[in-house]
Amino acid sequence: MINFPESDALKRLPKQFFASLVVKTNAAIARGYDVINLGQGNPDRPTPPHIVKALQQAAENPLYHKYSPFRGYDFLKEAIATYYKREYDVDLDPKTEVAILFGSKTGLVEIGECLLNSGDTVLMPDPGYPDYLSGFALANLHVEKMPLTRENAFLPDYGSLPERVLDQAKLMFLNYPNNPTAVTAPADFFEQTVKTAAAHNICVVHDFAYGALGFDGKRARSFLQTPGAKDVGVEMYTMSKTYNMAGWRVGFALGNPSVIKAIELIQDHYYVSLFGAIQKASAKALLGPQDCVRELVARYETRRNAFFDAAHKIGWNAAPSQGSFFGWLPVPHGFTSESFFEYVLDKAHVVLAPGVGFGKRGEGYVRIGLLTEPERLTEAVERISKLNLF
């Protein structure tokens, strides 16, 4: 049998840091331990019933049994434009400023191929979502990291980046509410971003996956609310977190028409759009009652409060999450993020995500997911407290 070698592009793909952690977690479960897994980022609640019903009804329509239009149905593009106007007072042209994605991850991975050439420079936050690196590797891009530090509220400091790097950069990735640090970005930061991008001809890609999940009565800002944002970039939005539709794989790229055109062009060659019934149900979610979203945000906020209240009582001090469904906490003295993960899994049977898996600047932190009920979150902290680390 011939063993066919992988392409150079596949060989450039980064190793999956969290794969080994999953193996260790599953091994603990297999040994019979009651493991509380706070290391994942998969929504734990079902899709709201009215959206599921809309899919069931639409699936009976023979129209949707055929190939969908390559670039998606107009009704879904119009629905997302209506949603953005209603939620963020942002005007979008459904025909030229909205692209339908197979989940926002697809857009985040393919945009490098759309706009950059081999060896071009892209700016990425550190720590940041690891899967950004997959797209950079496939397109053979040069990556420059933008440090996110607690001292700067986990926002990039453009003034600290070398002028040479800014001049070379053609693409910049941002993500607020942030994964993994769980902070949101203020309006003046996005204004700085637009100014910097315009001055250096950089296309901004704002990953707005957790856009609906803001706490303490404060809504996360859309990058597109910033004057001039559409001149310099796009925002990627997903149905996964807002409506618990992670498995449905529905996302959107929104903003600069030239970027939208490039994304739709590459997708013309990769795909034949989403199943029409899924598009119909997605439009129903965007245009229908939003009680389910408000209830979801309240649920995550209750979980956040339970976890951080318990953590603070044992001396594990960190700022409560401003958005997303994560928490970002420092590791105790004497541990790395990975050794802390292993110790807590072994001794307390609690899974945490080591910060170093999100980049060099993530060392010294762990990410927790608010993806189980308050009682289990509190129990996780109680188990860790018995280790007397704080």
pLDDT in tens, 78-121: 999 999 999 999 999 999 999 999 999 999 999 999 999 999 99
- Residues 146 and 205 both lie in one domain: yes
Return the ∠ at Cα 41 (arms to 252 and 54), rounded to 5°.
Answer: 50
Per-residue pLDDT tens over the stretch 161-178: 999 999 999 999 999 999
Last residue of some domain: 263, 287, 311? 287
Per-residue pLDDT tens over the stretch 308-326: 999 999 999 999 999 999 9
In contact, 33 and 349? CB cutoff 8 Å: yes
- Residues 40 and 117 both lie in one domain: no
In contact, 214 and 322? CB cutoff 8 Å: yes
Last residue of some domain: 253, 287, 321? 287
In contact, 330 and 365? CB cutoff 8 Å: yes
**Mean of all residue pLDDT scores within the chain:** 95
Is 347 inside a domain boundary? yes
Is 3 inside a domain boundary? no
Q: How far apart are CA 350 and CA 336, in angstroms?
A: 16
In contact, 42 and 247? CB cutoff 8 Å: no
Confidence of residue 50 (pLDDT cuts 50, 70, 90): very high
Q: β-strand 169-174 against 142-147: which pairing, if any?
A: unpaired
- Residues 308 and 377 both lie in one domain: yes
Per-residue pLDDT tens over the stretch 184-221: 999 999 999 999 999 999 999 999 999 999 999 999 99
Is 390 inside a domain boundary? no
The count of structural domains within the chain is 2
Is 115 inside a domain boundary? yes
Domain that holds residue 361: 8-46+292-385
Q: Is the pLDDT of residue 384 over 90?
A: yes
- Residues 23 and 100 both lie in one domain: no
Q: Which amino acid is at 190?
A: F
Tell me the Cα Rg of the chain: 21
Residue 95 belongs to domain with CATH number: 3.40.640.10
Entry pTM: 0.95
Q: What is the pLDDT of residue 20?
A: 79
Q: Is the pLDDT of residue 62 over 90?
A: yes
- Residues 296 and 309 both lie in one domain: yes
Q: How far apart are CA 232 and CA 354, in angstroms?
A: 34
Q: What is the pLDDT of residue 15?
A: 85
3-state secondary structure string across 77-114: HHHHHHHHHHHHCCCCCCCCCEEEECCHHHHHHHHHHH
Q: What is the pLDDT of residue 361?
A: 96
